[in-house]
Amino acid sequence: MRIYVFVEHYPNPYKPWIDTQLVALLQAGHEITILAEAGYTSTVHDEVKKYGLERLTHQYPTTLKSLKTHGGRIAAALVRHPLRNLGQAPRIWDGAFAAKINLLSVARAAVFPTTPPDVCYIHNLVTASRLTFLKDLYPGVPVCLYFHGGEVGGQKKIAGEAHIFDRMDAIITGTRFAAQQGVDRGCSPAKIAIAPLGFNLPDYAPATPRVYRPDGRTRFVSVGRMSPEKGFLVALDAVRRLVEAGERNFTYRLVGKGIQFNELQDYVRTHQLEPFVSFAGEKKRGEVADELQAADAFILSSLITETWAETQAAVVQEALLMKCLTIATIAGGVPESNAGVMQERFAVPPGDVDALMRAMRAVMACSPDDLVRLGDAGRAFAVEKYDIGPLMARILDHATGRLAPDDPARFVRA
């Protein structure tokens, strides 16, 4: 199949699962074109270069200001295909939107490929809000949205969600929680199927035997975008209070960067936590797996905002695949996406520093045999449920209307 994949940012160091899905499509023999609004090149995962994904990526205008950057491409497209562009402009002009939005739609359509794909596959609601014209640009081509949930902290709530969902033929979500979010925002339940973000399992191969506490200290780690909704300050507060209570036999490592990076470093310096806390910076996917291999337990201390909660928290499954124990917040779709043995023993309410301290102490109190047993159980859970091969096939089946009406993947409200 020829598949056009639309993403907000690509490459994107904080969403390695995009690389995983793209590679899975290529390995299955599909032809892909990646259309992105922008990209982050601070850290580029190895898969991007190995599979030439940057050569398959083309950027398109997102704002009126950005039209200047893309002016040459737009002009060239108009010269090469004047009749096509003149003919499609009336089709994609939507009276429900302001003129400037329609102008951007016409400009985007001008630089999109002329050959219709077999499927248009969009990641996230923000991107879909700018591409409601795709059904008019490529008549008869199914348009599928992977709905990742609400807006992250600091972003305005997207208006007109019901109209956006109406312009999609199929919706994929990673969890039942995210599916219900979509329904609450105006999506028909009949359009939704659940297919979690998956992983290439050979990329996550923990050492045999898996060694815990090699120097006797429990090693905690967190990985992710360092922004307020991710709750890193909650975890650092728990660390500070544990140290003040006399705990010394542990370390905590933070992997990633973001708008809160300097604030988190200042917190560590202010409270003299340097002997216990270290910062690894932004890492490639393989390096993240190494960081998880070098830890005993992963901490996800994400919060809930007015418009956002974790929908799958893919890094939890990465930790499980590397036989890390997982201390995870009881928020959004995380309880669905975490191994039951971890959820029963180490789940914590969002923002509850006391509960997080208790969970960290519970991990520190685990016997060596208990650590091995829990690590094995966590990996078995993730291997069974998050293999990218069958999950990507399920996504394409739903996108192209081949998923049976009674398939268990379809969302049915309780």
Contact 239, 276 (CB under 8 A): yes
Q: Are residues 335 and 363 in the same domain?
A: yes
Distance between CA atoms of 177 and 311, rounded to whole angstroms? Answer: 7
* pLDDT at residue number 86: 67
Domain membership of residue 175 (yes or no) is yes
Is there a single domain that holds both residue 304 and residue 360?
Answer: yes
- Find the CATH number of the domain harbouring 167: 3.40.50.2000
Same domain, yes or no: 305 and 225: yes
**How far from the centroid of its chain's Cα atoms is residue 348's Cα?**
22
Quick one: 155 and 289 in the same domain? no
In 3D space, the residue among 328, 332, 382, 333 whose CA is nearest the CA of residue 359 turns out to be 328
Confidence band, pLDDT 50/70/90 cuts, at residue 306: confident
| Number of domains comprising the chain | 2
Mean pLDDT, residues 312-332: 97
Are residue 153 and residue 181 in the same domain, yes or no? yes
> Is 331 a domain residue?
yes
Structural contact between residues 287 and 349, judged by C-beta atoms closer than 8 angstroms: no
The reply to whether 9 and 150 lie within a common domain is: yes
Compute, in degrees rounded to 10, the torsion defined by CA atoms 148, 150, 156, 157. 120
Confidence of residue 243 (pLDDT cuts 50, 70, 90): very high
Let me know whether 149 and 259 are in one domain: no
Residue type, 359: A
Q: Is the dihedral of CA 223, 387, 324, 286 positive or negative?
A: negative
Question: Is pLDDT at 414 greater than 70 in this prediction?
Answer: no
User: Is 302 inside a domain boundary?
Assistant: yes
Residue 158 has a pLDDT of 87
Same domain, 352 and 365: yes
Residue 333: name the closest of 318, 352, 314, 355 by CA: 314
| Structure confidence at residue 134 (pLDDT) | 95
Residue 385 pLDDT class (50, 70, 90 cuts): very high
Alpha carbon dihedral 148, 150, 154, 159, in 10-degree steps, equals 120
Residues 252 and 295 in one domain: yes
Q: Which of 24-33, 94-103, 125-134 has the lowest mean pLDDT?
A: 94-103
| Residue 87 belongs to a domain | no
- pLDDT of 85 > 80? The answer is no
Residue 69's Cβ-side half-sphere holds a number of Cα atoms within 13 Å equal to: 11
Assess whether 149 and 174 both reside in one domain.
Answer: yes
How does residue 232 score in pLDDT terms, banded at 50, 70 and 90? very high
Write down the pLDDT at residue 361: 98
Would you say residue 205 lies in a domain? yes
Q: What is the mean pLDDT of residues 104-124?
A: 93
Condensed to tens digits (0 to 9), the pLDDT of residues 120-169 reads 999 999 999 999 999 999 999 999 999 999 887 667 888 889 999 999 99
Q: For 333-377, how does the pLDDT look when each residue is reduced to its tens digit (9 = 90+)?
A: 999 999 999 999 999 999 999 999 999 999 999 999 999 999 999
For the chain, the average pLDDT equals: 94
Cis peptide before 206 (omega within 30 of 0): no
Residue 305 lies in a domain: yes
Q: Are residues 239 and 347 located together in one domain of the fold?
A: yes
Cβ neighbour number for residue 272 with a 10 Å cutoff: 10
Q: Provide the pLDDT for residue 83.
A: 60
Q: Are residues 166 and 138 in the same domain?
A: yes
β-strand pairing of 170-173 with 143-146? parallel
Distance CA 255, CA 200 (A): 21
Nearest to 169 by CA among 412, 397, 413, 409: 397
pLDDT (0 to 100) of residue 376: 98
Q: Is the pLDDT of residue 264 over 60?
A: yes
CA distance 197 to 382: 11
Rounded to two decimals, the pTM is: 0.93
Instruction: Report yes or no: 225 and 310 within 8 Å, Cβ to Cβ.
Output: no
Q: How many residues does the chain have?
A: 414
Query: What distance in Å separates the CA atoms of residue 330 and residue 316, rounded to the nearest whole number?
Result: 13
CA–CA distance, 320 with 386 (Å, rounded to integer): 11
Residue 367 lies in a domain: yes
The position carrying tokens 């739609």 is 105
CA–CA separation, 410 and 414 (whole Å): 12
Domain with 244, as residue range(s), is 201-385
* Residue that the structure tokens 């033929």 belong to: 169
* pLDDT for the residue 79: 75
Q: Does 92 map to a domain?
A: no
The per-residue pLDDT for range 170-220, each reduced to its tens digit, is: 999 999 999 999 999 999 999 999 999 999 999 999 999 999 999 999 999
SS3 of the chain: the string is CEEEEEEEECCCCCCHHHHHHHHHHHHCCCEEEEEEEECCCCCCCHHHHHCCCCCCEEECCCCCHHHCCCHHHHHHHHHHCHHHHHHHHHHHCCCCCCHHHHHHHHHHHHHCCCCCCCEEEEECHHHHHCCCCHHHHCCCCCEEEECCCCCCCCCCCCCCHHHHHHCCCEEEECCHHHHHHHHHCCCCHHHEEECCCCECHHHCCCCCCCCCCCCCCEEEEEECCCCHHHCHHHHHHHHHHHHHCCCCCEEEEEECCCCCHHHHHHHHHHCCCCCCEEEEECCCHHHHHHHHHCCCEEEECCCCCCCCCCCCCHHHHHHHHCCCEEEEECCCCHHHHCCHHHHHHHCECCCCHHHHHHHHHHHHCCCHHHHHHHHHHHHHHHHHHCEHHHHHHHHHHHHCCCCCCCCCCECCCC
* Residue with token string 């291997």: 383
What is the arithmetic mean of pLDDT over 102-114? Answer: 90
Per-residue confidence band for 65, with pLDDT thresholds at 50, 70 and 90: confident
